[in-house]
Amino acid sequence: MSTKDFIEKDYYKVLGVPRDATEAEIKKAYRKLARENHPDANEGDAKAEERFKNVSEAYDVLGDAKRRKEYDEARALFGNGGFRQGPGGGGQFNFDLGDLFGGGPGQQPGGGAGAPGGAAGGFGGGLGDVFGGLFNRGGPGATRTQPRRGQDVESEVTLSFTEAVSGATVPLRMSSSAACKSCSGTGDKNGTPRVCSTCVGTGQVSRGGGGGFSLTDPCVDCRGRGLIAQDPCDACRGSGRATSSRTMQVRIPPGVDDGQRIRLRGKGAPGERGGPHGDLYVVVHVDEHPLFGRRGDNLTLTVPVTFPEAALGGEIKVPTLGGPPVTLKLPPGTPGGRTMRARGKGAVRKDGTRGDLLVTIEIAVPREMGDAARKALTEYRAAAEGEDPRAGLFEAAKGD
Ligand SMILES: [Zn+2]
Ligand SMILES: [Zn+2]
């Protein structure tokens, strides 16, 4: 059951009863029409079937005192089969949207200047019921006033290398669009915008797409809001939206990489009319670490070793990021540039496991040496004479 149905369909006419018919009269009329048009009694008669549907639909509303009241009020508000013309023409209405916007300007009898008498005055507190009753029921014509999901918001954050690897909770200052406080989101100085006549308050306009389906576009006249300010609010210039900035603590999961865009569900702008929050997207920048590097899930580290350590082998202790050092066993004859792996000492993966720490060995050459060391090294040179590491280079250089 949509608003459009309420506006377009004359259920009293369908049942053939006057507007002031009693409950008993409505029931009687319905029973008679239902019996006459019942599909069982009119097999293969498509028109009877259609009538039966319409009669059932009409009774669904008029047969229920509460829904009949809503229907009557909606039609009084929107007119019968279209908009009732106000004195200013254009088929526009003024009414108090206090209830609709919740915590708004409250009951303002009569609305703004030039209000066509009756429409607003007659409703007062009843309007909330009308909208609540009609719009919460769903249906294609009711999208505008249904809860609407908040906007997605994008932000940026710069993390230290360690924070990126281990995860961190960081304060994030964000500006987002929220309902304007001055006008309670109505966009109107007096809190009395009129319903857009172009889209009948739905905020959407459908155009035939051919092939039996239609496409909907946001309404141009009201920019998809369904409402138009009569006396635009100074604070928001009639948009009903204001920029608000807030700081919130955001949990960045471990293992994020520089340039990564992460999505935090439900941390975006608040929804409208009780709709859910949008999502927050955070683009992460990661500072470099003076020591460690990053290659996917793995951390990298270059470790200097002495020539004797590399040549003779031995155990070396290397630091890890945020944990105790690990000891690596260098096999005798380890060349410079070799990479060794410390398992599970890398960055945290999505599944909670960790990558590895890739340790690249670099042969450190002492800048200065003590006499004893120099003497020993000179002796070593003499002992190792005849070993030429460049022997193969010249032959290879001549090759094709
Ligand atoms: Zn519109
Ligand atoms: Zn405003």
Residues with CB under 5 A from ligand 2 (ion): 180, 182-183, 233, 235-236
Q: How many A from CA of 193 to the centre of ligand 1?
A: 12
Q: Ligand nearest 225 Cα, by number?
A: 1
Query: CA-CA distance, 269 to 248, in Å (whole number)?
Result: 12
| pLDDT, one tens digit for every residue, the chain (400 residues) | 555 666 677 888 888 888 888 888 888 888 888 878 777 777 777 888 788 888 888 888 888 888 888 888 777 766 544 333 333 333 333 333 333 333 333 333 333 333 333 333 333 333 333 333 333 333 344 444 567 788 888 888 899 999 998 888 988 877 666 778 888 878 888 888 888 888 888 888 887 655 666 777 888 888 887 888 888 888 888 888 887 777 888 888 888 888 989 888 888 877 776 778 888 888 999 999 999 999 988 999 999 999 999 999 999 999 999 899 999 999 999 999 999 999 999 988 878 899 999 999 999 998 999 999 999 999 999 998 877 888 888 888 887 6
Q: How many A from CA of 180 to the centre of ligand 1?
A: 20
Q: How many A from CA of 204 to the centre of ligand 1?
A: 7
Q: How many A from CA of 182 to the centre of ligand 2?
A: 5
Q: How many A from CA of 362 to the centre of ligand 2?
A: 66
User: Which residue, 205, 98, 101, 75, is CA-closest to 143?
Assistant: 205
Domain boundaries, the chain: 3-95, 153-193+229-286, 293-383
Query: CA-CA distance, 79 to 76, in Å (whole number)?
Result: 5
Q: Do domains 3-95 and 293-383 have the same CATH topology?
A: no
CB 322 within 8 A of CB 162: yes
Residues with CB under 5 A from ligand 1 (ion): 196, 198-199, 219, 221-222
Q: What are the binding residues?
A: 180, 183, 196, 199, 219, 222, 233, 236
One-letter amino acid of 352: G
- Residue 187 burial by Cβ neighbours in a 10 Å radius (0-12, 13-18, 19+): buried
Q: How many A from CA of 3 to the centre of ligand 1?
A: 15
Query: CA-CA distance, 360 to 37, in Å (whole number)?
Result: 87
Q: What is the pTM of this model?
A: 0.46
Q: How many A from CA of 299 to the centre of ligand 2?
A: 52
Q: Which CATH class is domain 3-95?
A: mainly alpha
Q: How many A from CA of 183 to the centre of ligand 2?
A: 4
Q: Ligand nearest 204 Cα, by number?
A: 1
Q: How many A from CA of 110 to the centre of ligand 1?
A: 23
Q: Ligand nearest 196 Cα, by number?
A: 1
Q: Ligand nearest 227 Cα, by number?
A: 1
Q: Which CATH class is domain 153-193+229-286?
A: mainly beta
Q: How many A from CA of 348 to the centre of ligand 1?
A: 50
Q: Which fold has domain 293-383?
A: HSP40/DNAj peptide-binding domain (2.60.260)
Q: Ligand nearest 219 Cα, by number?
A: 1
